[in-house]
Structure 1
């Protein structure tokens, strides 16, 4: 009997040692992080650049289109006769709320103001698709991007203008309903990616989310072939009285650049934010670890995988 017990214990210990050895050699969990989102503006000042009657709201990368908490972002397209503005509604809302908070608390130091306020999507950190604004000037046939950089890198905020992109769409007979509107399918290739768009002839406006447009109707849904990014309309406001389309006065201080230089800069920031932050500000950005199981946790910067590849 003693021999049996001894053999059992020896086997159990051997198995336990093997399990321990396997745990020690287990690959660490990889956790990808984005650069830190910029602080909300404490003194948001806007100037009117046009006026319009249509506001279109898009869910960015929605897991469930019926649940705003599953969006990466809620974005807004304001359309006027001279130009349109495309921006993150969540980011703009936070800027407005923090500015209002500061006005109500003027004696509080700026650094003590809330970092962000209001609702925001599931995406964490900085993204050019949340923190850039895009203006399409129809009279000049020009698109301007104002790129707001991550926290601590305000000196690198930049802007550029380029000719309004001309997309070579192929229109298909296939249809589907988006946000209650009958839409028709169109596809095109643009700067290294293939896109599918669904546009509505019921809204004869040649525009859409991000840099997309050029169809004989408003684009209500669009995505690239790899489903890296998707934009889907979740609401349209038709205003009887025109509303002002505004531009942030802070954009005037953004340094001028061109699209390719900005693309390179964004890539470097996305892939090496901590070192760039250290070199720019003298202070390394905060890094986070997994307090629950640090031995099986490894943090890496999220790779830069933009819509424009060229």
Structure 2
């Protein structure tokens, strides 16, 4: 196990999850693509951004992530296998605001949220059954599918979702699941977070997949958020603790930290408020 970047809080990251530490394999047979539109600053209606997110689905497991996160990791793996081929071409970290993976079905009714902080992969486990859905009679057509309305409350927000029984997969973007069909749209009642299905396809060739919990440091959601906050507080110090140093011109580091803090102040609207 690697040393966590902030040694003073390392000991509190380890958490008993009650989760079987066995690896599992599956094949992704379907791919659902979503566009997420979200408001970064809750006080600024103009602070809206969009990203592409992909949900890969197998018989047992699904994986949800930003396309940039997946592309960056794929490029990194290819670079490790053949460093000469990628010499001078590697661009570094992916350009995404959603630097995580969510795996549903990794245990009996469990999901895993994983995120890498500097060099360490952290993971917390939750029940998939977090949603008390109210299925309503209202229907409409969406991209050729008949869809039905449902509502729920999750992590401090009220959500409206539309799902289609025509795709009988009880899954959706982010942590959302549990409806009798694929979720094609879901948004909170303030439209601060809005997921919309833009494509659904059966993969011509199934993609082999393996999930190994031993690759992660087990923790809790609260402790992972704390670790992220500590990293955001001083990312240069966190990098320095793992031997990554940067050279700065006079005043450059202070300027970058000032800009970093100003950016963080505007990122005040996480999807989970509770």
Distance 1:237 1:164 in 2: 24
- CA distance in 2 between partners of 1:86 and 1:92 (Å): 10
Q: 1:231 to 1:268 in 2, by over 3 A?
A: farther
| Richer in helix (by share) | 1
Following superposition of structure 1 onto structure 2, how do residues 79-228 of structure 1 map, counting pairs within 5 Å? 79-100=57-78, 103=81, 105-106=83-84, 112-116=88-92, 127=97, 130-137=98-105, 140-149=108-117, 153-155=118-120, 157-228=121-192
Q: Distance in 2 between matches of 1:286 and 1:200?
A: 54
Aligned counterpart, 1:16:
none
- 1:266 counterpart residue number: 228
CA distance 1:96–1:138, change in 2 (3 Å): closer
- State which structure, 1 or 2, has the greater radius of gyration over its C-alpha atoms: 1
Residues 271, 301 of structure 1: 8 Å contact kept: no
Pick the aligned partner of 2:34 from 58, 78, 81.
58
How has the CA–CA distance of structure 1 residues 265 and 71 changed in structure 2, closer, same or farther, with 3 Å as cutoff?
same
Q: Secondary structure at the match of 1:93?
A: helix
Say whether the 8 Å CA contact 2:33–2:199 is kept in structure 1: yes
Contact 1:277 1:285 in 2 (8 A): no
* 2:79/2:86 contact within 8 Å kept: no
Return the offset for 1:264: 2.4
Give structure 1 stretches of 5+ with no counterpart: 1-46, 64-69
Query: Which structure: greater strand fraction?
Result: 2
CA distance in 2, matches of 1:104, 1:279: 28
Give the deviation of 1:245 after TM superposition: 4.4
Q: CA separation in 2, counterparts of 1:93 and 1:298? A: 27
Separation in 2 of the partners of 1:209 and 1:278?
A: 35
Q: TM-score, normalised by structure 1?
A: 0.63
2:69 aligned counterpart, secondary structure:
helix
Are the counterparts in 1 of residues 24 and 211 from structure 2 also a CA contact under 8 Å?
A: no
Q: Could you tell me how far apart the structure 2 residues matched to 1:75 and 1:286 are?
A: 35
Return the TM-score normalized by structure 2.
0.70
State the distance in 2 between where 1:148 and 1:274 align: 16
Deviation at 1:274, TM superposition (A): 4.8
The residue number in structure 2 matching 1:6 is: none
Describe the SS at the equivalent of 2:270. Answer: coil
User: How far apart, in 1, do the equivalents of 2:127 and 2:74 lie?
Assistant: 31
Aligned length: 236
- The answer to whether the 8 Å contact 2:36/2:193 transfers is yes
The answer to whether the 8 A contact 1:267-1:304 is kept is no
Larger relative contact order (Cα-Cα within 8 Å, sequence gap ≥ 6): 2
Where does residue 41 of structure 1 map in the other structure? none
CA RMSD of aligned residues (A): 3.6
Contact 1:102 1:113 in 2 (8 A): no
Runs of 5+ unmatched residues, structure 2: 1-22, 40-47
Q: Distance in 1 between matches of 2:208 and 2:86?
A: 31
Tell me, yes or no, if the aligned pair for 1:137 and 1:143 is still in contact at 8 Å. yes
